[in-house]
Amino acid sequence: MFESILNEDDRGQVGIGTLIVFIAMVLVAAIAAGVLINTAGFLQSQAEATGQESTDLVSDRIEVVSSTGIVGNASTGDLSSINITVTTAPGASDIDLNETVIQAVGPQGESTLTLASDGNASGAEFGINGLSDSSNAVLNSENDEFTITIDPTSSAFGNGTVGSGEAFGEGDDATLDIISPASATTQVELNSPSLYNTDGEAVRL
């Protein structure tokens, strides 16, 4: 009995087996640690990206300073232009109006407006007052305000020429969702007065 316990060959075999098990455990632990480190790094990157997107969604937003209409024909109650002055929200990055869309709901239904390349409002394209080249339509510290112009005679707003009584005008209302490139949305309610006095006057919407 004592010979089997003290047999050197048997003791060596037990030691090798234990060493193999130990090495296997170390390898498994190292692989698991590597997977955990990679997963943690991926989750951190994803969290940072999500946080940046959330920040942009809140801060990279367009703010509306004022909204007015220019009376085109007081007798028929039509506007010749809808003007919306916009700026950036505090802390916002540069906002390219070329990548900004306006979703409008008005008397003639729904439409999506994009910036006209020549800066002139027409149909389903909005313009920018005093700007003939849309490549310069970026809201930043140098261009802290722009006046967006919208055609009241077409798309969601009207169905006719100024003076026909079918353009956006007296007593009409519309809702605009101005969506920045970061997908931040600013909603604007346009409510036109029920009576115009003279051609060319500016009315608050």
- Which of 100, 79, 95, 185 is closest to 141 using CA atoms? 95
pLDDT per position as a tens digit, 35-62: 778 776 666 666 555 554 555 455 688 9
| CA distance readout (Å), 163 to 71, 127, 142, 166 | 10, 22, 38, 8
Q: Which tops the pLDDT comparison, 132 or 173?
A: 173
Torsion of CA 47, 48, 53, 54, to 10 degrees: 70
Give the per-residue pLDDT at 32: 79
- Measured CA to CA, the distance from residue 64 to residue 5 in angstroms comes to 90
- Measured CA to CA, the distance from residue 194 to residue 202 in angstroms comes to 14
Pair of tokens at residue 121 = 């409002």
pLDDT per position as a tens digit, 89-138: 887 888 999 999 999 999 999 999 999 988 899 999 999 998 877 888 99
pTM of the model: 0.73
- Measured CA to CA, the distance from residue 47 to residue 39 in angstroms comes to 12
- Binned at pLDDT 50, 70 and 90, residue 28 comes out as confident
Pair of tokens at residue 117 = 């390349």
The stretch 80-91 carries a mean pLDDT of 92
Is residue 69 within 8 A of residue 203, CB to CB? The reply is yes
Give the neighbor-by-neighbor strand order of the sheet with 62-73. Answer: 185-191, 173-179, 101-106, 109-115, 125-128, 146-150, 78-88, 62-73, 202-204
